[in-house]
Amino acid sequence: MDEVFSLLESAIFGSKSNAAEHRFQLLVTLKECVTRCQTAASISQTAVTDHAHTLILHLCNCLSFGLRMTPPGSPAVFWSVVVSLSRSCPPMLESVHTISHLNNVKTPAGKVVSWLRLIASRKQLLPSLNSLAQHEQLIYRHYDDWALMRDREGVQAMLQIILPIHEISISLNFDDSMLDSIFDRPPPPQSVPPPPPLHHLH
């Protein structure tokens, strides 16, 4: 993991791309979230739940960064990516079907958080995101070239970062109506130019 971060960091210092810096910071924060979950696991299940909630929200930011559709970078857009992927990835069909028929979560943004909570609790997070990373056609269709999901080293780092999550018992409510409004607060303004990324899928 340290080698991956060193590679990313050295590449970023050789680039003036704000998008590259943003991708790196997303991964740094994701690693911090995972580390807090690991620490909390030695304290109590309640502590794990609190930190796992934050981890899921930040993972939404990672997966939404650079999405092409309007509004740009909205977690709501990512739900269409998940649904599209499930059509060609049978192991994901059951979890997507479960989220699509919840009683309390109705919005696309809420379903994204709900789906990530569900697969994290079932220890399916890594294989599901790995399936997404390998579906190049889907990634090209939905993501701009400066997106995290178009950066080979970035995706590799993200998958390695979340690997320890499978060793932690996570139990999150995935049918909570509050998930529909979890992203209602306006995000801080961002200015991300779209220069060619450091390493993207070919």
Six-digit token pair at 48? Answer: 């794990």
Question: pLDDT-derived band of residue 16, with 50, 70 and 90 as boundaries?
Answer: very low
Q: Any idea which residue has 């690991």 for tokens?
A: 38
CA angle 175, 65, 115 (to 5 degrees): 20
The model's pLDDT over 73-129, given as tens digits with 9 standing for 90+, comes to 567 778 989 998 888 888 889 999 999 999 999 999 999 999 999 999 999 999 999
Q: How many other β-carbons are positioned within 10 Å of the β-carbon of residue 52?
A: 26
CB 11 within 8 A of CB 153: yes
Q: How far apart are CA 54 and CA 79, in angstroms?
A: 19
pLDDT at 190: 38
Query: Is the Cβ–Cβ distance between 146 and 17 less than 8 Å?
Result: yes
Kindly report which listed range (5-14, 23-32, 69-78) carries the lowest average pLDDT score: 5-14
Least confident window among 19-23, 56-60, 70-74: 70-74
pLDDT surpassing 80 at residue 70:
no
Could you check whether the bond before residue 71 is cis, i.e. omega within 30 degrees of 0? yes
Beta carbons of 155 and 132 less than 8 angstroms apart: no
Stretch 141-168: mean pLDDT: 93
pLDDT at 17: 66
Whether 198 has a pLDDT exceeding 70, the answer reads no
Average pLDDT over residues 180-200: 52
Q: How large is the average pLDDT for residues 167-192?
A: 74
